[in-house]
Structure 1
Amino acid sequence: MEELDRHARLALPIFRQLFDLMDEGFCVIKFLDSEFGPDSDYIHIAANAAYARHAGIPNVVGQKLREMVPDEADAWIARYGKVLESGEPIHFEQELVATGRWLRLSAFRLEPADSKLVAVLFQDITRERAAKQELEGENLHLSERMEEAVKERELFATLVQSSDVAVLVVDPDLNIVAANEAASKEFMQRFDRTVEAGHSLVELLSAAPDNLKQMSDRWRRSLAGEEFEVVESFKVGGTTRHIELRMRPLRNSKGDIVGAYKFGHDVTATIAEQTRREAAEDALRQSQKMEAIGQLTGGLAHDFNNLLTAISGSFELIETRLQQGRIEAVEKYLIAGKSATRRAAALTHRLLAFARRQTLTPSPTNLNDALADLCDLIRRTVGPEIEVELVATKGIWTTLVDQNQFENAILNLCINARDAMPGGGQLTIETGNRWVDDAQSAKLNIGSGQYVSVCVSDTGTGIPEEIRERVFDPFFTTKPMGEGTGLGLSMVYGFAKQSDGHVAIYSEAGSGTMVCIYLPRHLGKVTQAAPDRPSAEVHALTNSKVALIVDDEPTVRMLVADALQEVGIATLEAADGIEALSVASKTENIDILVTDVGLPRGMNGRQIADAIKQERHDIPVLFITGYAENAAFNHGHIRHGMEILTKPFSVDELQNRVRRLLSSSKA
């Protein structure tokens, strides 16, 4: 017995060392009361070093449970009480609320029972439990996702199966993998064949070789990786149906092509509706066109009838006075007829400007310089009640423009501004350099890039919104009868468009109006027009000169010939291009060509000029035209040694132009 006591005493330090080195927390607690009750408690009589590490409570020896965890003590005391009473160990997991840690515990009674000692072994499993809960959450989420995926697949399958869109899937060998009811119905209608998974598409269409080739080609394009759409049309029971096919390759998770599929959507009703809409739009456009033509011809007929009345009346009265021998009374009728003729010419010029058919002679121009010369005329035109201000941007870019037509356009805008300010006001003309980006390009309906702008603004009555869209229409005017032709703004619009620019209007009723003309920037230098030589000097150069006159109107040929003969120029005449070339080939000396542009028998004036210049390189050319074909002049540009005179023209103007061309040619 003594030997056993000696060994026990020797082992005791070893056990104590092991007790302190244990990785798990370990403690011994002693029940303090004689029996269990509401105030029962335990005191810690021993604890190893790992206790504080796992439980998070230091210096536990000597502390009572109710002191350590007052809010949790009852639950812990009840558990340990069962161990003392039954002698059966317990194993459980519990959160230590005081420290927020989860512990895995084992509690057992130390003998003898009357010592009322309980040993507790435990580990901190906070991280383990958190990981477990996270895993359980992920598993639950995965399970829910799988359930959702199954439901989605079932839903998608139901939707595809019941959809009106025909869905067909094939493998690389053109065997059908899947087909919904719409695809099966389409096959039955077109080919009297049923479609099921496993069927060969080639066999199904073997009785329709044309369809087989076309369809096979489409499927093989999809199997090669191509995505495309095509509209297929076919007849069913005498009715044409249109199917929009969308063909796509089918890929696996690795991106490899494992088949192809198509969506076939019946667009028969859509195409029919589109056709009806296009027909309605065409009818509307035709109606609008006829309305515009009616408005145009009505206004034109009104103005021309007035002018023709003045011209024809003047001629009749001249004839009457000549028969009466009253020559002194003829002059006023001549003046009236010439005035009406000039007004008729102005009217046709405005019409041509609106239709973008006027003949332009563009040259590189600095608009600041052009406006500086024009402003004095504008001030005299609008009157002293209106203050005119020119705001000229420094460093203004050059633009390629017909300066005369530009000045006419600005003058028209200023006259409109004057009429909008009957009580006087402010008229501002402002120039600027403008960059037009893509957004502005779409809004202004011009190409993006660099433009020179000229804006004319007033402080007048403004334009009501309901008529703002119509102000550029020909013969549209808000002025009383006889006070306006309605061609001013339409001429400005036509001039801007023919110059590859745009015109925009900004106005509100009662707040004034601003009209801006945008003209493309030209990178060339400004050119100065050479001054005309005195007509006496030119006249001396025209002796013994010969002019070839080409015009299909005999009266015009006669008038031009007589006018040139008046200044000593001999004339040859031709009615069309073929006759003109024939005359030129038989005549050695022709010094100038005077030709109309629009001519019969398939040859226009420009082509005649080019043909004659093959043999006579330096011959000057004067085009006389009442309706300029832009294509004949290379979109408005003519070569050196060529000029254009617009009908109707005065005899003096014709003679001076011919003299100047002959003088320039000789120089």
Structure 2
Amino acid sequence: MSVRPSPEHSCLAGGGEAGERLRAIDWSGTSLGPLGGWPLSLQSAVRIVLGSAFPMMLHWGPDLVTIYNDAYAPSLGRKHPGNLGRPAREWWSEMWDQLTPIFDQVLAGKPYLVEDARYTPDRDGMPREAFFTHCHSPLWDDEGRIAGIFLVVTETTGRVLAERDLTRLNASLEEQVAAVQASETRLRESEQRLDALIRSSSEVRFSTSADWSELHQLAGGGFIPDTTAANANWLDEYIPAEDRVAVRAEIARAIRTKSDYSLEHRVNRVDGTVGWALSRAVPLLDPAGAVTGWLGAASDVTDRRRAEAALQSLNATLAEQVQQRTQERNGLWEVSRDLFMVTDGNGVILSVNPAWTTVLGWEEYEFIGRTTEWLEHPDDQVRTREQVAHLAGGQATLAFENRFRSKDGDYVHLSWTAVPSDGLLYCSARDVTERGRQAGLLLQAEDALRQSQKMEAVGQLTGGVAHDFNNLLTVIKSSTDLLKRPDLAEERRVRYIAAISDTVDRAAKLTGQLLAFARRQALRPEVFDAAVSVRAIADMVGTLTGARISVRQQLSDEPCFINADPSQFDTALVNMAVNARDAMEGEGELIISVQPAEGMPAVRAHAAVPGAFVRVSIQDTGSGIAPDKLGRIFEPFFTTKEVGQGTGLGLSQVYGFAKQSGGEIIVESEVGTGTTFTLYLPRAVASRARVRPEDDAPVTDGGGACVLVVEDNRDVGTFVTQTLGELGYQTHWVLNAKAGLDALARDPEAHDVVFSDVIMPGMNGVELGREIARLYPRLPVVLTSGYSHVLAEEADHGFELLQKPYSVEALSRVLSRAMRRRRDG
């Protein structure tokens, strides 16, 4: 039996009315249980809440039972005091959808802070709009688990609504000013527009006590010095002596009438000078109608005041200015279809000719005293401001183009010429909208031509693929037909089987070249030194080129690391070397160079690219490439060789590899002298040397290990399981990823390795591999694919890949490596 603490010693001691009501609750009937059994963490939190003069609340336990203090009670309206000790959901039912996400976040351990949040609490029998700034923090029990929520809140409804009122007041004042301006003469209209242009408003926000004796807070925005603490001497510090009487009088009037405060007066600025401010404030009233404080804003009108003084000075010479402007508009000024304009050094328009109205539709007075920013297309404003700055600095502008908005809403394209003279800018613009429209039509025609060229390239690609694959299929078909003949000699059987195997390899190579050109092959990038790789295949290049071609290497002493597929890199070098050999007709000099490069030059309408690159070039002394064919050498199946001497895919592979590796291929050639192919690849950070797979490793026996085969093609699945059986493996074949996961779930220890296709209905092989890695991290996964857009777009998938078609030896090697990795942990 728990002992109820005495009131003076319990966590509910004190706390005013809230504490008294909390002590009267029979807590044994709530989810918190008897008071004597409350955890110390809850008791400490309750003491903090009841002992605070700031609005605070806490929720505890699975029902989020609510405890709050007297400072919080006024914001609850009629909900107080009946909601003390009740679950939060019961007494905030009308707002529960808004509060649930907040509570869930805090109970997950993340605090939640929001300012001026809008809610519609039911505090007086009807949901009403209210605004609160509140912070929710998690509360931990004695065991270190999150058991409750601590809430500190301030209601900001009055301030938010006051700002709304102030905004509406500003709008009302602007409407009144507009009405006055409409009744004035054209000169007065020009004056007001000039004032609006010159005046820059620095918005200042402030709040004061009810009697204005203390300035609670002021955000000066760089205009008036800020203050964050209550200041009783604000009048002497901010207001010069000559305006204090007027300020006090306006304050007294506003307090007496409980109406808006509004006054234009001098003010001490941040920079130590005296400026002018237009101050406005609205009263905050309690339910009884008493003023509880004031919220206000002030605008910097210093520039406007100075402009008014300058305008008064200008008015004294108005007749002279009118005469001067009349002379400017004589003759060509009046009749020209070009737009003429005179501005000051800041681009403020002083005069325009009638063509402005003819072209743009606006009246002359609507331009005067303003810059052209209100007319400029948003995308042209930065460039236009830069041109104005150049003019102001004494530089002339020739053939600068931008767009101005006409009165009907359309944009007119203008071509400008402007010169500065004696502090003024003299500008002339011509309407070139029609010229721009014609240029757009030309671009459309060029785009249609490019589409036609793309279709022609697709046709060439389709025909070339069909031709080469039909040749390969002819060899395979003929060999299989001959193998069916009875009494076939062993020597011929071996020859036909070798022909089939060799043709399959050629078909796989052709497929790889097609995918490389299309930039769709599944690259396996590694970081390696390009110079080391070139040195490693130098002997092979020498064998390919023959004894009459001298092969020289110019390799950088500085490491040239790149991040690329090493196999595709080697293939690209071989393709360029073979192309150079054929161009030299078997005799000449071939120079292979690997050097670091700072940047990549512009090529094929692409701008130069700065940065760190590696430049790999192959230079020959061959016949060169004719200029009319230079632009087509990377097209698929385009070749200058005799029929049967090449597919036209070698350089296409180089082009595709360069693009997919983030680089570029550049060719320079002179007929009769030779050609240089230069491959640019992004330079990478140094990494450990790559380790090539054991391509020559012998076929090993599977030793009865079980392979889970995931393959949706029944013919391929049958072949794989039979092959694995011949290699000494046990197999479990399923048709899709879901069936594979189900098999692993039933008995994960029954399988030693997973061998899965990539492209399957539903979950693909990469997704399956990642799910297996998550569920069974020690179970190796090997993927296989002939082509997959998944692998092409995401080369770094994290799994070993066996490309189709593959040999029995390759299958044995990849499974052996996977088994070794599992044994090695």
Superposition TM-score, scaled by structure 2 size: 0.51
User: Is the Cα–Cα contact under 8 Å of residues 377 and 403 in structure 2 kept in the other structure?
Assistant: no
1:415 aligns with 2:588: no
- Specify every segment of 5 or more residues in structure 1 that has no aligned partner in the other structure, as ranges: 1-149, 171-175, 189-194, 202-215, 248-252, 256-261
1:644 aligns with 2:801: yes
- Specify every segment of 5 or more residues in structure 2 that has no aligned partner in the other structure, as ranges: 1-322, 344-348, 386-401, 417-421
1:300 aligns with 2:462: no
What does the per-residue CA deviation read over 1:305-359, in whole Å, with 9 as the maximum and x for residues that have no partner?
111111122223333x1xx454745433322222221111110011111112222
2:506 pairs with one of 328, 343, 356: 343
2:655 pairs with one of 477, 493, 499: 493
What does the per-residue CA deviation read over 1:373-418, in whole Å, with 9 as the maximum and x for residues that have no partner?
2111121221111111112221232222322222211111111111
Give the structure 2 partner of residue 591 of structure 1. 752
User: Is the Cα–Cα contact under 8 Å of residues 354 and 364 in structure 2 kept in the other structure?
Assistant: no
Task: Return closer, same or farther for 1:608/1:274 CA change in 2, 3 Å cut-off.
Answer: farther
What does the per-residue CA deviation read over 1:257-309, in whole Å, with 9 as the maximum and x for residues that have no partner?
xxxxx999766534542442232122111101011111111111111111111
1:316 pairs with one of 465, 478, 481: 481
1:532 pairs with one of 670, 694, 713: 694
1:627 aligns with 2:800: no
What does the per-residue CA deviation read over 1:214-267, in whole Å, with 9 as the maximum and x for residues that have no partner?
xx9947999xx99787665898xxxx96535899xxxxx999xxxxxx999766
User: Is the Cα–Cα contact under 8 Å of residues 169 and 177 in structure 1 kept in the other structure?
Assistant: yes
Give the structure 1 partner of residue 685 of structure 2. 523
Give the structure 1 partner of residue 412 of structure 2. 243
Higher mean displacement: 587-596 or 338-347: 587-596
Query: Residue 485 of structure 1 aligns to a residue in which SS?
Result: coil
2:774 pairs with one of 606, 611, 614: 614
What does the per-residue CA deviation read over 1:167-225, in whole Å, with 9 as the maximum and x for residues that have no partner?
8999xxxxx9977545555688xxxxxx7667999xxxxxxxxxxxxxx9947999xx9
AA matched with 1:360: L
By how many angstroms is 1:456 displaced? 1.1
For 1:581 and 1:199, locate their aligned partners in 2 and report how far apart those are by CA, in whole Å. Answer: 74
Give the structure 2 partner of residue 469 of structure 1. 631
Query: Residue 775 of structure 2 aligns to a residue in which SS?
Result: coil
AA matched with 1:462: G
Task: Return closer, same or farther for 1:299/1:525 CA change in 2, 3 Å cut-off.
Answer: same
For 1:565 and 1:516, locate their aligned partners in 2 and report how far apart those are by CA, in whole Å. Answer: 48
Aligned positions of 1:216-231 closer than 5 A = 218=374
Question: Which protein, 1 or 2, shows the higher relative CO under an 8 Å CA cutoff with sep ≥ 6?
Answer: 1
What does the per-residue CA deviation read over 1:38-73, in whole Å, with 9 as the maximum and x for residues that have no partner?
xxxxxxxxxxxxxxxxxxxxxxxxxxxxxxxxxxxx
User: Is the Cα–Cα contact under 8 Å of residues 593 and 617 in structure 2 kept in the other structure?
Assistant: yes
For 2:688 and 2:758, locate their aligned partners in 1 and report how far apart those are by CA, in whole Å. Answer: 29
1:433 pairs with one of 580, 596, 599: 596
Give the structure 2 partner of residue 4 of structure 1. none
AA matched with 1:484: G
For 2:376 and 2:462, locate their aligned partners in 1 and report how far apart those are by CA, in whole Å. Answer: 60
What does the per-residue CA deviation read over 1:76-101, in whole Å, with 9 as the maximum and x for residues that have no partner?
xxxxxxxxxxxxxxxxxxxxxxxxxx
2:542 pairs with one of 353, 376, 379: 379
By how many angstroms is 1:151 displaced? 10
State, as a whole percentage, how many aligned pairs show the same letter. Answer: 33
For 1:595 and 1:343, locate their aligned partners in 2 and report how far apart those are by CA, in whole Å. Answer: 25
Task: Return closer, same or farther for 1:158/1:624 CA change in 2, 3 Å cut-off.
Answer: farther
AA matched with 2:592: I
1:458 aligns with 2:615: no
Query: Residue 707 of structure 2 aligns to a residue in which SS?
Result: strand
User: Is the Cα–Cα contact under 8 Å of residues 460 and 513 in structure 1 kept in the other structure?
Assistant: yes
Give the structure 1 partner of residue 177 of structure 2. none
User: Is the Cα–Cα contact under 8 Å of residues 520 and 792 in structure 2 kept in the other structure?
Assistant: no
Superposition TM-score, scaled by structure 1 size: 0.61
Query: Residue 448 of structure 1 aligns to a residue in which SS?
Result: strand
User: Is the Cα–Cα contact under 8 Å of residues 363 and 527 in structure 1 kept in the other structure?
Assistant: no
Query: Residue 776 of structure 2 aligns to a residue in which SS?
Result: coil
1:573 pairs with one of 733, 737, 740: 733
1:481 aligns with 2:646: no
Give the structure 1 partner of residue 713 of structure 2. 553
1:273 aligns with 2:435: no
Give the structure 2 partner of residue 543 of structure 1. 703
User: Is the Cα–Cα contact under 8 Å of residues 602 and 609 in structure 2 kept in the other structure?
Assistant: no
For 2:766 and 2:668, locate their aligned partners in 1 and report how far apart those are by CA, in whole Å. Answer: 41
Larger Rg: 1
Query: Residue 595 of structure 2 aligns to a residue in which SS?
Result: strand
User: Is the Cα–Cα contact under 8 Å of residues 501 and 519 in structure 1 kept in the other structure?
Assistant: yes
For 1:265 and 1:552, locate their aligned partners in 2 and report how far apart those are by CA, in whole Å. Answer: 68
AA matched with 2:672: G
Task: Return closer, same or farther for 1:182/1:425 CA change in 2, 3 Å cut-off.
Answer: same
For 2:576 and 2:646, locate their aligned partners in 1 and report how far apart those are by CA, in whole Å. Answer: 13
For 1:311 and 1:563, locate their aligned partners in 2 and report how far apart those are by CA, in whole Å. Answer: 21
User: Is the Cα–Cα contact under 8 Å of residues 532 and 660 in structure 1 kept in the other structure?
Assistant: no
For 1:265 and 1:613, locate their aligned partners in 2 and report how far apart those are by CA, in whole Å. Answer: 67
AA matched with 2:446: E
User: Is the Cα–Cα contact under 8 Å of residues 179 and 196 in structure 1 kept in the other structure?
Assistant: no
Task: Return closer, same or farther for 1:263/1:155 CA change in 2, 3 Å cut-off.
Answer: closer
User: Is the Cα–Cα contact under 8 Å of residues 441 and 448 in structure 1 kept in the other structure?
Assistant: no
For 2:657 and 2:501, locate their aligned partners in 1 and report how far apart those are by CA, in whole Å. Answer: 27
User: Is the Cα–Cα contact under 8 Å of residues 523 and 792 in structure 2 kept in the other structure?
Assistant: no
Task: Return closer, same or farther for 1:165/1:647 CA change in 2, 3 Å cut-off.
Answer: farther
For 1:598 and 1:234, locate their aligned partners in 2 and report how far apart those are by CA, in whole Å. Answer: 59
For 1:423 and 1:617, locate their aligned partners in 2 and report how far apart those are by CA, in whole Å. Answer: 55
Task: Return closer, same or farther for 1:376/1:275 CA change in 2, 3 Å cut-off.
Answer: same
AA matched with 1:648: P
Task: Return closer, same or farther for 1:198/1:297 CA change in 2, 3 Å cut-off.
Answer: closer
Give the structure 2 partner of residue 108 of structure 1. none
Aligned positions of 1:93-108 closer than 5 A = none
1:658 aligns with 2:815: yes
AA matched with 2:717: R
For 2:350 and 2:583, locate their aligned partners in 1 and report how far apart those are by CA, in whole Å. Answer: 76
User: Is the Cα–Cα contact under 8 Å of residues 398 and 526 in structure 1 kept in the other structure?
Assistant: no
User: Is the Cα–Cα contact under 8 Å of residues 475 and 487 in structure 1 kept in the other structure?
Assistant: yes
1:391 pairs with one of 554, 562, 567: 554
Higher mean displacement: 423-432 or 458-467: 423-432
CA RMSD of aligned residues (A): 4.2
Task: Return closer, same or farther for 1:549/1:445 CA change in 2, 3 Å cut-off.
Answer: farther
AA matched with 1:561: T
Task: Return closer, same or farther for 1:605/1:271 CA change in 2, 3 Å cut-off.
Answer: farther
Give the structure 2 partner of residue 162 of structure 1. 335
For 1:351 and 1:608, locate their aligned partners in 2 and report how far apart those are by CA, in whole Å. Answer: 28
For 1:152 and 1:464, locate their aligned partners in 2 and report how far apart those are by CA, in whole Å. Answer: 65
1:401 aligns with 2:558: no
For 1:200 and 1:467, locate their aligned partners in 2 and report how far apart those are by CA, in whole Å. Answer: 57
Task: Return closer, same or farther for 1:177/1:233 CA change in 2, 3 Å cut-off.
Answer: closer
Task: Return closer, same or farther for 1:285/1:511 CA change in 2, 3 Å cut-off.
Answer: same
User: Is the Cα–Cα contact under 8 Å of residues 603 and 666 in structure 2 kept in the other structure?
Assistant: no
User: Is the Cα–Cα contact under 8 Å of residues 500 and 520 in structure 1 kept in the other structure?
Assistant: yes
Task: Return closer, same or farther for 1:182/1:553 CA change in 2, 3 Å cut-off.
Answer: farther
By how many angstroms is 1:562 displaced? 2.0
Task: Return closer, same or farther for 1:635/1:445 CA change in 2, 3 Å cut-off.
Answer: farther
Task: Return closer, same or farther for 1:513/1:166 CA change in 2, 3 Å cut-off.
Answer: closer
What does the per-residue CA deviation read over 1:422-481, in whole Å, with 9 as the maximum and x for residues that have no partner?
2511111122121117x6589875632122222111111111111111111111111100
